[in-house]
Amino acid sequence: MLESEMNQQQTKFSEIESALRECESNLDFKVRQRECKILENEIEQRKVTRSQVVAMEEIEIKSKIEHLSKSCQTLSLEQAKISGAMQALQSQLESTLVLLSDDKFSNIQERFRDLSATAEAYALSLEDIDKYYKALDKGLMLYHRNKMEDINQVLRSLWQSTYRGRDIEYICIESDQLDDLQNQRKQYNYRVVMVNGEARLPMRGRCSAGQRVLACILIRMALAETFCVNCGILALDEPTTNLDAANIRALADALYHIIERRKRQSSFQLIIITHDEEFVKHLGSRDHADFYYVVAKDSENHSKIHREQLSS
């Protein structure tokens, strides 16, 4: 009895194991089937995505092909242009070589080198000349300024010792620098100015004939005193024209002082041409002249020169 139950139980156990294995197999099948569906869905999705990617790649490749085609056309045009230019340059080179084969172009490189060296030397010389010109111009400007100061100093002293009026304290020469752009040189515009206190007025059109004559004489004397130290000849032609008696005597006194300053110079000579006998007598009253020369015409209308003593 017990064996038969055990056999029955064994049989049932075997059936249960078989059913369990079958359940496990069915469960594994279901899982595998679900995984297969998931994989099939992923495959379908990947197929769609890949087709889209392929379509996009095809569009991009087509655009690149179009761009490259246009670039090829452009490069072809440029190549044609460059080829034409090269042919023109080649023909020009050939014609140039034909010209260079002439005898007048022989040793052209050596001649060009020599001319380049000469041009460079000229350029350096021009730079040096420009430096010297600027230095000379600066020196001349300084010399001009110093000489104008000396002239005005002498002119002021002569005027104050000669002129007997009170309306003009002294006169001076003023200069304005003018740039001549056409000739690239400097020019000066001079004017004589009369000074009385703070007032400075040009003499032109504002002075009398006597003042103008006296200013002309004194300016020439100032120029002679400034520039002609070693040249001892001072010549005056009719210096007393339009001068009154007081200014005539003052002019004679000024000449006397000039003679005093220059008497140690052996080559100094004062030449005066005048019809004013009073002026001559006033000069003769000093210690530096004993006689003078008179030019007159004789009965036959011939000019004669004879010497007269100042004492007579």
Which run of H or E residues covers position 191? strand 185-196
Q: Which residues contact 269 (CB under 8 A, 6 or more apart)?
A: 232, 233, 234
Q: What is the predicted pLDDT for the residue at 13?
A: 73
Question: In terms of CATH architecture, what is 131-309?
Answer: 3-Layer(aba) Sandwich (3.40)
**Residue 125 — very low, low, confident or very high, per pLDDT cuts 50/70/90?**
very high
Which run of H or E residues covers position 295? strand 291-297
User: For the ranges 1-15, 78-92, 264-278, which has the lowest average pLDDT?
Assistant: 1-15
Which run of H or E residues covers position 17? helix 2-100
**Residue 100 — very low, low, confident or very high, per pLDDT cuts 50/70/90?**
confident
If one compares 169 and 242, the residue with the highest pLDDT of the two is 169
Residue 295 predicted with pLDDT over 70? yes
Other C-beta atoms closer than 10 Å to the C-beta of 221 total 21
Please give the average per-residue pLDDT across 109-137, as a whole number: 89
Whether residue 21 contacts residue 15, with contact meaning beta carbons closer than 8 Å, is answered with no
Q: Which residues contact 176 (CB under 8 A, 6 or more apart)?
A: 188, 189, 191
Other C-beta atoms closer than 10 Å to the C-beta of 191 total 12
Please give the average per-residue pLDDT across 198-225, as a whole number: 83
Q: What is the predicted pLDDT for the residue at 220?
A: 83
Mean pLDDT rounded to a whole number for the chain = 80
**Residue 120 — very low, low, confident or very high, per pLDDT cuts 50/70/90?**
very high
Strand ranges in 115-202 using DSSP code E only, listed in sequence order: 170-180, 185-196, 199-202
The proportion of the chain whose per-residue pLDDT surpasses 70, expressed as a percent, equals 87
Please give the average per-residue pLDDT across 180-189, as a whole number: 67
Other C-beta atoms closer than 10 Å to the C-beta of 192 total 17
Q: What is the predicted pLDDT for the residue at 183?
A: 58
Q: Which residues contact 66 (CB under 8 A, 6 or more apart)?
A: none
**Residue 266 — very low, low, confident or very high, per pLDDT cuts 50/70/90?**
low
Residue 16 predicted with pLDDT over 80? no
**Residue 288 — very low, low, confident or very high, per pLDDT cuts 50/70/90?**
low
Tokens 């040096």, located at residue: 128
Q: What is the predicted pLDDT for the residue at 276?
A: 83
Other C-beta atoms closer than 10 Å to the C-beta of 219 total 20
Segments making up each domain of the chain, as ranges: 131-309
Whether residue 260 contacts residue 296, with contact meaning beta carbons closer than 8 Å, is answered with no
The proportion of the chain whose per-residue pLDDT surpasses 90, expressed as a percent, equals 8
